[in-house]
Amino acid sequence: MTGLSSIAMNPYLILLLICHLLSDYYFQSQKMADCKDQDMKVLGRHILYVAFPLFVVSLCHLDLWWICLIILLSHAGIDYSKPWVQKQFRLTTAWTFALDQVLHVGIIIVLVFFGVKNTTTYLSGDILNLIFYVLLVGKPTNIVFKIFFAKYQPTMEDKMDTITGAGSMIGFLERLMIGACLVYGQFASIGLVFTAKSIARYNKISENPAFAEYYLIGSLFSILSALLAAWLYL
pLDDT tens digits, 112-166? 988 887 667 777 878 888 999 999 999 999 999 999 998 888 775 545 556 777 7
> What CA–CA distances, in Å, run from 139 to 12, 70, 144, 191, 222?
22, 25, 9, 23, 12
The pLDDT assigned to 88 comes to 93
Specify whether the CB–CB gap between 17 and 58 falls below 8 A.
no
Q: List the alpha helices (DSSP H) in 61-165.
A: 65-89, 93-115, 125-136, 139-148
Polymer length in residues for the chain: 234
Sequence-separated contacts (24+) of 198-205 with Cβ below 8 Å: 204/160
Identify the CA nearest to 141 among candidates 42, 83, 220, 234. 220
Average pLDDT in the 38-49 region?
Answer: 94
Question: Which positions ≥6 away from 161 have C-beta within 8 Å?
Answer: none
Give the tens place of pLDDT for each residue, 97-123: 999 999 999 999 999 988 887 667 777
> What CA–CA distances, in Å, run from 98 to 59, 91, 163, 171, 232?
31, 10, 29, 21, 20
Going by pLDDT thresholds of 50, 70 and 90, the confidence category of residue 7 is very low
Greater pLDDT, 55 or 10:
55
The pLDDT assigned to 3 comes to 46
